[in-house]
A and B are shown apart, each in its own frame.
Chain A
């Protein structure tokens, strides 16, 4: 079921604060975060995040197209590389 529109999108409050406080020049320093469920807000564009995938932080550079998706969508949590070839 989709989230109620009344609540608005879920954007991690801390991330917004960090972006606001950092200003324009902070775009170069990646923001480490575990907030995989956080929606990508328009304010995020141009920033780099380090999204935790359970083990490592995956660098995610946010572009305009990503707005409305969640941070976790860009940091895969699984490492399946195909089945063993036998011959």
Chain B
């Protein structure tokens, strides 16, 4: 299995898919990388030569923020929102939706699994 940028081990998928296993690289940036380097996007990741791998790694290093550094950047951004006491920071602190979505129902991604309230009166007919 080829390794790109340390720990990432994309498997025997086409390169353009394999690259998206890197945190911070999606299909758009993946396509862009391969285009700019002139590497066929549909070659299998395992068929890449050492030299090609090195070129991809160098290119990503130079043009993208990925993996740990990107994760840190994201947390730092959220941390900033929290610290300045903005509304968005407040929503992050309470782990509720940040962008104005409804919370009467749904919003489960942010709120986590349902906490059923016991003894809730069932509406009588």
Contact = CB atoms under 8 A, between A and B. Distances in A.
Partners in one complex: yes
Interface of A: 63, 65-66, 69, 72-74, 76, 86
A49 B23 CA distance: 41
B119 A73 contact: no
Nearest to B85: A74
Interface of B: 80, 83-88, 90, 119
A65 B83 contact: yes
Question: Which label, helix, strand, loop or mixed, suits the secondary structure of the A interface?
Answer: helix
B119 A65 contact: no
B84 A74 contact: yes
B10 to A, nearest CB: 35
Contact of B84 (A65, A72, A76, A86): A65
Nearest to A63: B84
Contacts, number: 19
Contacts of A65: 80, 83-84
A51 to B, nearest CB: 12
Contact of A76 (B80, B83, B87, B119): B87
A70 to B, nearest CB: 9
A5 to B, nearest CB: 21
A86 B117 CA distance: 10
A73 B9 CA distance: 42
A72 B85 CA distance: 11
Contacts of A72: 87
B77 to A, nearest CB: 11
A86 B87 contact: no
12 contacts: A65-B80, A65-B84, A66-B86, A69-B84, A73-B86, A73-B87, A73-B88, A74-B84, A74-B86, A74-B87, A76-B90, A86-B119
